[in-house]
Structure 1
Amino acid sequence: MSYIKTWKEVILKPAEFFMKMPTSGGYADPLIFAAISYIISWFLSILVSFSMLTMGGSESSFSDLKAISFILGVGLLLVFVSFLILSLIANLFYRALGGTGSYEGTVRFASYASAALVFLTVPYVVSVSVIYEMYLLIVGGMVVHNVSMRKSMIAVFLSFFLPSTIWTLVILFGFV
């Protein structure tokens, strides 16, 4: 897997990429792609954070990298778990809306949609990055599950906003 070639295809020609993407064949390549996207995003955000801290006169040093590396490891584990859980939820919504794709196909397109994470650290582009990732998820869902754009939008928004709403309510009202 060539990360840069795949990343360019996902970002520049998402419909073509998702049409060519196999919906089976294992989880390794897509999850590795997502991990690389996450690590690049993390690394760029660390650089931006350190540059902003040093510009502000902070005495933060690179000795903090030990703690930051631990956070990266935990974050990477959480990314994998969240991809798997959110893909399961999305797959259930796609099935309810008449989708024909598989859970593995859902994990695959959700992982490749993480290509947009790379732009999260670019100032003034964060919102565009999130919207573009949603677009990638919608297009991937359309292709993998063979549903209309409207149904794919519904599945994507429900699969991300419903769990977020539930967790927010749990945190706010202390149901844990």
Structure 2
Amino acid sequence: MINVDYIKTWKEVMKSPSHFYSEMPKTGGYFYPIVFAIGSVAIMLFCVLLIYPLIFPEIGNTIKLTYMEISLIVIFLFVMYILGLLMNSAILYITYKILGGKGSYEGTVGVVCYATAALVLAWIPLIGLIFGFYQTYLYLVGGKFIHGMGIFRSAIALIMSLLLVFVFAGLVSMSVFA
């Protein structure tokens, strides 16, 4: 069951995604999933800002930004990431529906937002890639339960959504540079 307790929910998503997504309410609003995603994105951005200058000091030496500029960049990235999650949900929802998915956009938003649990560890150099793949797994499992389809069809929906994004990006770049 969804809980306001971020840490408890994070552990459930990461340790037992099948159980979590099978118990996740398919209706009930966007508030809790979005708040969870905000927490995950905030933790990731905080860790990146804290750790990466220590690991890659040459970045700090070549780019001199004021605290105000850094704050504005962080706020911009944060807002764009959250908006990106909602757009990602819309694209995934469309591809699930094309493949006969039975879930709602609201359920898809829940899947995408709770899959941000992997971001809390995805920023770690070298091993972060593993958690990036785990986030993809969370999408697949969530799609399976929310849209009532097998894991294979959930994977097809995910691949189709990526292809739609690439086609759209290609069309936009062609129109911009034409």
Pairing 1:41–2:44 present: yes
Q: In the aligned structure 2, how far is the partner of 1:174 from the partner of 1:59?
A: 31
Q: Which runs of 5+ in 1 are unaligned?
A: none
Which residue of 2 is the match for residue 22 of structure 1?
25
Find the counterpart in structure 1 of residue 101 from structure 2. Answer: 99
For the structure 1 residues 53 and 25, does the alpha-carbon distance in structure 2 shift closer, same or farther, using more than 3 Å as the test? same
- Distance (Å, rounded) in 2 between the aligned partners of 1:135 and 1:93: 17
Q: Pick from 146, 149, 154: which aligns with 1:147?
A: 149
Correspondence for 2:55: 52
Matches within 5 A, 1:106-121: 106-121=108-123
In the superposition, the TM-score normalised over structure 1's length comes to 0.89
Tell me whether 23-32 or 44-53 shows the greater mean CA deviation.
44-53
Give the deviation of 1:66 after TM superposition.
2.2
Q: Which moved more, 1:116-125 or 1:94-103?
A: 116-125
Query: In the superposition, relative to structure 1, how do residues 52 and 64 fare at CA in structure 2: closer, same or farther (>3 Å)?
Result: farther
Number of aligned residue pairs: 175
Q: Give 5+ residue unaligned stretches, structure 2.
A: none
Q: For each residue in 1:71-106, what CA deviation from the matched residue of structure 2 results, as whole angstroms up to 9, or x when unmatched?
A: 222122212221222211111111111110000000
TM-score normalised per structure 2: 0.88
The residue type paired with residue 152 of structure 1 is S
**Residues 22, 170 of structure 1: alpha-carbon distance in 2 compared, 3 angstrom cutoff:** same
Tell whether the 8 Å contact from 1:120 to 1:126 is kept in structure 2 after alignment: yes
